[in-house]
Amino acid sequence: MDNAFEIQRIYISQAFQGMGLGKKLFEFALQEARDLGCDWVWLGVWERNFKAQIFYDKYGFEKFAEHNFPVGDGKVDCDWLLKLKL
């Protein structure tokens, strides 16, 4: 993916969840990507983070790959890599 913008992390403290702040931050990041002239936005989401997957799906993100990563004690988790054409 050429000319892409990666969103690495957006965290909202539990005390402030449900107020639309995550959506505002996310939309700000998408607008930054547009303003920079990017063609794509991509991000990783843990395969078991269903709430986040639903959130990204509403924006039209599509899964394009998986990334396995060690989490300790020989265990491995998997992130789904998602992309959105701007």
Q: Of 43, 16, 15, nearest to 29 (Cα)?
A: 43
Helix intervals (H) in 8-74: 21-35, 50-58
> Is 56 a residue of the active site?
yes
Contact (CB, 8 A) for 46 and 68: no
C-alpha–C-alpha distance, residues 16 and 79, integer Å: 25
Q: Which of 42, 56, 61, 80 is catalytic?
A: 56
Residues with a catalytic annotation lie at 56
